[in-house]
């Protein structure tokens, strides 16, 4: 691949990552935070550990991410790690940029729309060959080892364990909302991933017939 093609490919991938992480951040502020739906994943683990460890949440989150990025490099590759770093940084940026947005205080909207929009955003990032860091990396690695288990199903299972553990430090009702939202998000990830692969296959077939 020449330099021009490489730049074009990276530009497309990073544009998809930026669009995906923007959707995830919008879902959080518009639908999840107003209804006290916790964003699951490694952040939830960091919060739990923060109750027992006398160090900052930022440091805990960083330390938890290090072995996951090493696993991603080992099983998926360097490009995946680079794109995941782009995803993690851009998500942090959008969470800062969109923090002023008012939200919709309606639990059902939080569960359904929060799950669907965040799932679509995560799928965009995954289709670009990256993640938003944290548990998403573990899900991609496990999908490489056991392809029969979809990334969405892996996300539901791993995040469900985190949410169940969070009942130790939060009320049950909002934990249930979070659990339902992550199930919707996991299903949305699988749907949008399959839809994207189908579209890519159709485009390749059209290119083959016109070539």
Question: Phi first, then psi: what are they for 186, rounded to 5°?
Answer: -65, -40
pLDDT higher than threshold 60 for residue 205 = no
CA-nearest of 14, 133, 158, 124 to 66 is 133
Q: pLDDT digit string (tens) for 130-140?
A: 998 888 899 99
Higher model confidence: residue 53 or residue 105?
Answer: 105
* 3-class DSSP assignment, residue 147: coil
Least confident window among 1-10, 23-32, 202-211: 202-211
pLDDT at 84: 93
pLDDT at 134: 85
pLDDT band at 1 (very low <50, low <70, confident <90, very high): low
pLDDT at 199: 60
Whole-structure pTM value = 0.85
pLDDT at 49: 77
User: Average pLDDT for residues 149-155, to the nearest whole number?
Assistant: 89
206: alpha, beta or left, given left = phi > 0 and alpha = psi -120 to 50?
Answer: alpha
Residue 33 DSSP label: G
| Percentage, residues of the chain above pLDDT 70 | 86
Q: pLDDT digit string (tens) for 157-190?
A: 888 887 887 776 667 787 888 889 989 999 999 9
pLDDT band at 40 (very low <50, low <70, confident <90, very high): low
78 token code pair:
């360097």
């Amino acid at each position: 691949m020449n330099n021009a093609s490489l730049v074009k490919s990276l530009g497309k991938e990073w544009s998809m990552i930026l669009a995906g992480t923007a959707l995830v951040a919008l879902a959080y502020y518009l639908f999840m935070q107003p209804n006290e739906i916790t964003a699951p994943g490694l952040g939830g683990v960091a919060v739990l550990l923060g109750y027992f460890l006398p160090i900052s949440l930022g440091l805990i989150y960083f330390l938890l991410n290090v072995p996951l990025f090493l696993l991603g490099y080992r099983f998926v590759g360097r490009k995946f790690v680079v794109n995941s770093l782009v995803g993690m940084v851009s998500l942090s940026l959008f969470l800062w940029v969109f923090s002023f947005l008012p939200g919709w205080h309606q639990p059902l909207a939080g569960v359904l729309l929060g799950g669907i929009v965040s799932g679509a955003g995560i799928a965009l990032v995954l289709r670009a060959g990256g993640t938003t860091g944290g548990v998403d990396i573990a899900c991609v690695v496990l999908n490489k080892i056991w392809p029969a288990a979809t990334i969405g199903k892996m996300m539901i299972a791993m995040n469900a364990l985190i949410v169940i553990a969070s009942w130790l430090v939060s009320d049950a009702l909002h934990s249930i909302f979070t659990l339902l939202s992550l199930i919707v998000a996991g299903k949305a990830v699988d749907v949008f991933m399959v839809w994207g692969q189908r579209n890519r296959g159709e485009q390749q077939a059209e290119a083959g017939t016109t070539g």
